[in-house]
Amino acid sequence: MKKTHVSATPATDFLHRHAADFSEHPYPYQARGGTSASALALGVDEHCVVKTLVMEDEAAHPLVVLMHGDRKVSTKNLARQIGCKSVAPCKPEVAQRHSGYLVGGTSPFGLRKAMPVYVEEGVLALEKIYINGGRRGFLVGIAPQVLLTTLAAVPVQCALEE
């Protein structure tokens, strides 16, 4: 029998298929509120809220970067580490087309298109992270190792202070 949950999304379906333990954390979504708004609403440290960023390399091949909520991505460092000439954020409509999610609700789980996933190394050192669950105003709490076991995420060092 399928376990029922608060918000069935492609992300939560993916996590169930992979038998990953996760907790559900709905919150009042704020347009342009970002990880600071979700961290505040949930009463957690923004460093533990992980943003899912859809980017592309110089050949327009999409990729996903998972970064601490209170940090920015050094695209120069990322490109060097993954063997690309350059990496840049996708335009919102392009990110949506690749991921299948609305911007602000992008999860690395249950993506429409298979893409390589890179995770900031520091994220993996945290005990628990909060990451988008596949819709705006909905995070899931997971152990960061789930990123490695379910997504084969590749650790990188590309964080900048925000």
What backbone phi and psi angles, to 5 degrees, belong to 104?
Answer: 95, -10
What whole-number percentage of the chain has pLDDT above 90?
93
Residue extents of the structural domains in the chain: 10-161
Q: Which among 63, 58, 45 is positioned nearest to 111, based on CA atoms?
A: 63
What's the rounded mean pLDDT across residues 6-24? 93
Residue 4, SS3 per DSSP? coil
Topology annotation, domain 10-161:
YbaK protein (3.90.960)
What's the rounded mean pLDDT across residues 124-130? 98
What's the rounded mean pLDDT across residues 57-72? 97
- DSSP H helices, 22-117, are 34-42, 75-82, 92-99
| DSSP-assigned letter for residue 27 | -
What's the rounded mean pLDDT across residues 38-52? 97
Question: Residue 3: pLDDT band by 50, 70, 90 thresholds?
Answer: very low
pLDDT single digits (tens) 70-103: 999 999 999 999 999 999 999 999 999 999 999 9
Residue 46 has pLDDT above 60, yes or no: yes
d(CA 49, CA 109): 15
pTM above 0.85, yes or no: yes
Residue 10, SS3 per DSSP? helix
Output the average pLDDT for the chain. 94
Those residues whose C-beta lies under 8 Å from the C-beta of residue 11, and which sit 6 or more positions away, are: 107, 108, 109, 110, 132, 133, 134, 140
